[in-house]
Structures are given as C-alpha cells and as structure tokens.
Amino acid sequence: MTTIQPMDHEAYMRFCLDLARKSPPKPTNYRVGAVLVDLASNDILATGYTLELPGNIHAEQCCFMKLAEQHGVPEERLKDVLPPRMALYTTVEPCSKRLSGNLPCVERVLRLAGSIQTVYVGVMEPATFVSSNTGKASLDAAGISVVHVAGLEPEILQVATAGHVLP
C-alpha cells in the first residue's frame, strides 16, 4: 500500500486517481478510483477501481466486495466487522442510480452509515449517464458528510471520461 498522512485529502484523492487510471476506458463507464480508510489508525482498508472485478463493478462496490470477502461476510453485514469510524475517498461522486440494475453505490455506502463519517469526492457526477444524481442529498440525510476535494477536477474528468465518444 501507500503511506499517506492522516487527513491529507489531496494525497488520498491522487491515490484514487492512480487507481482510476487502471480501469479500462469504455464509452459506458466512468473510470473511478476509491479508497476506504480507517480514521482511527489511518489504515487503508480497501481500494477499488471501476471494472477491477468481473462484471459491471464500480470502484466503491469493488472496495466493499473485497472487504466482505476478506472478512468472510456478505456485503450487507460489513458494518458488523469494520471499524466504527471510516472515510471513503472516491474520484467521482458515488452513483445514486445504476442503469445496469446493480445496487447503486450510494445504497452500499448507506449500509455503513454511522461507520462511514465522510465521503470525499474529487468531482460531482457529471450528467452523462444519470441526469440528476441524488447521492449527495441521500448521504447528507443519513448524516454522512460529502466533501469536495478541490483542485484535481480537470485531471479526474480526463481520466474518468477516457473512452467516451464525444459528439
């Protein structure tokens, strides 16, 4: 893994961006990187990027699936085995709707409400696939702060949209 100082949000976002670059470019996905951090120890609990695992798997979903497997529990029971104070870093705002029929990433994060304190995002979800992402509002309503980490937007969007066909 990597050594990042506690609360160095830009460094965590850059780490997520490096993960996003591993995602294969496709016209139907954003290339996203995500990292789940234990706030008490500053340990990186899981990393993920879009399409890292088989299927149409988003970065946040990948983190949670890998953790569930590591702990031998279904993803729905992750809260039972994870630390009580975590932060999720992701290059793009977690999705609130999946066109593929998979559970949206926001719903997966909401399962960990009370444990995930904050979701740090590099950019809010562009309207390319889902015109109005309600993720931030849903997370705010559950007491999970959504914090924009400013400064990397052009680079994040360039990586996220690689492979997209522009009109």
* Side-chain half-sphere CA neighbours of 66 within 13 A: 20
DSSP state of 113: B
Name the residues annotated as catalytic.
60
- Dihedral sign, Cα of residue 144, residue 148, residue 152, residue 155: positive
